Amino acid sequence: MVSALIIFSTTAPAQELDAPLPVDSATDAEIEPALLPANNWNDPTVEVDHVEPPLPTAEGSEVFTSPDEEAREVSPMPRRFRYAISVDVRGVYDDNVTLSRGANRRDDFYIAIAPQVTAGVGDVLERQENFISLNYAPTGLFFFDNSEFSTIEQVGRMEGQWRINRVTLGLSQDFQSVQSSNLGVANTTGGFSNQANLDIGGRRRVIHYSTHFTASAPITGKTSLRAAAHYSITDPEDLIGSETLSGSLGVDYRLGPKVGAGLHFTGGKYFVDDPSPDQTFQQINVLADYELTGKLSATGSAGIEFRQSDIGNNAHVSPVFAFGIGYAPFDGTQIDVSATRRTLNSATAAGQDFTSTQLVVTARQRFLQRIYATLSAGYQEQSYFSTISGVRTNREDNYYFIAPGFDVRLTSFWFAGAFYTHRANDSSVDFFSFDTNQYGVRTTFRF
């Protein structure tokens, strides 16, 4: 896979936000790590497989504070050791817990209990100096009528950074064990994570490991050299798993205090379980960033991706992009827009990959300092193609969701609210089509 990727970024100095909290029974292979800073979101060297990246926030700018963010905030006192503990409890009625049609469709009420622990030593907030951090978020799901669906999901990350003279080294390890089925509605207090795994559908355990190493060093006052290595494993239960190994090398250049650019080269290999073939990829990435205003931040990438299959002469070319915009026009108002397009290995269709194009818009508003309203909506399109000569495919999926919610800050450590989500998928393969509604209440405690 060769990828010519251009990244345009307008970022105001901003405080980095963590990724959304873990989701309900709807979690799946595209789940985002709970409480995990999305440091690799706009790094084209990271092949994240089925992990869907969250919308990034630039470092340093004042950010709209929702109860969700406050519940995840690491203790702000100026000390070397920082920690945060929270517990989220949700009660949800879902009229289609299996994401099925016809006789296989089941409704149920379930309770989700999701404690979270975050601890770190060093510069865990600014991330300019040495630090090490650990995040762990298990979720217990307890179904009333379909007790066989009850499960424990786990999401965790360990991350560290070391500065040795002029060289900065970084290492992160992610782990996810989730029950792939529904789309997780909202996080604890209004944020929404679009995590419907359209490729798998139904209920399926998915385990994912990911290791990412980075190294950077200045060459001159404006130029720096950056290298990265990435390894990941995606293991869906009884389906087609895959491994990814990649490395990259690039040069970054600061054109001015608000403008930067870079050129990165990446190569690697996808190792896919039989009967699907392995694949090789290469990337050429052009990066740029630009700071606009204190209220508006944006990052973006666009390019072309090339893949080669180890069987036959199959090669695939597809546009790829990743855009994120954060806008805070007024105090207490936050609007986020993200759009991505990328290519992934199919876990259900032998000898096939698919391109996934996704758009998500989220608006959050604070009222009277205690009430928080959120509205999220999104669209996702998946188009399948063959990686083996002579194999035909015609699967197309078109998915959308809408998710309003509100929360009230009862005390400095206690939040409560309610949410609703409607989502539907129209697939050319009827088995993967569905529509479903979720109605829920939630409460969050932070310590």
Task: Check if the beta carbon of residue 354 is closer than 8 Å to that of residue 383.
Answer: yes
Alpha-carbon distance of 159 to 295, in angstroms, equals 29
pLDDT score for 221: 86
- Domains delineated in the chain: 3-446 (2.40.160)
Question: CB count, 10 Å around CB of 115?
Answer: 15
Q: Is 336 exposed, middle or buried (0-12, 13-18, 19+ CB in 10 A)?
A: buried
pLDDT score for 440: 95
Alpha-carbon distance of 205 to 181, in angstroms, equals 9
User: What values do phi and psi take at 17, rounded to 5?
Assistant: -95, 150
Alpha-carbon distance of 321 to 343, in angstroms, equals 11
Alpha-carbon distance of 50 to 172, in angstroms, equals 17
Angle at 384 between CA 94 and CA 341, to 5 degrees: 80
pLDDT score for 172: 94
pLDDT score for 431: 85
Closest CA to 29 of 47, 45, 48: 48
Task: Check if the beta carbon of residue 407 is closer than 8 Å to that of residue 413.
Answer: no
Please state whether beta strands 396-409 and 151-164 pair in parallel, antiparallel, or not at all (unpaired). unpaired
Q: Is 116 exposed, middle or buried (0-12, 13-18, 19+ CB in 10 A)?
A: buried
pLDDT score for 398: 94
* CA distance readout (Å), 201 to 30, 97, 445: 12, 11, 32
The residues with which 109 forms a beta bridge, in sequence order, are 93
Q: Is 265 exposed, middle or buried (0-12, 13-18, 19+ CB in 10 A)?
A: middle
Cis peptide before 404 (omega within 30 of 0): no
pLDDT score for 126: 78
Q: Please report, in tens digits, the pLDDT of each residue of the chain (447 residues total).
A: 434 333 333 333 333 333 332 333 333 333 232 333 333 323 333 333 333 333 222 233 333 344 444 444 444 444 578 889 999 999 999 998 888 887 788 999 999 999 999 999 988 877 888 999 999 999 999 999 999 989 999 889 999 999 998 899 999 999 988 885 543 333 333 333 445 678 887 778 888 899 999 999 999 889 999 999 999 999 988 889 999 999 999 999 888 777 788 888 888 999 999 888 999 988 888 887 777 777 888 777 788 888 998 887 678 888 888 888 888 888 889 999 998 988 888 888 888 889 999 999 999 999 998 999 999 999 999 999 888 877 778 899 999 999 999 999 999 899 999 999 999 999 888 888 888 899 999 999 998
- Spatial neighbors of 152 by CB under 8 A, at least 6 apart, are 138, 139, 140, 141
What is the chain's length?
A: 447
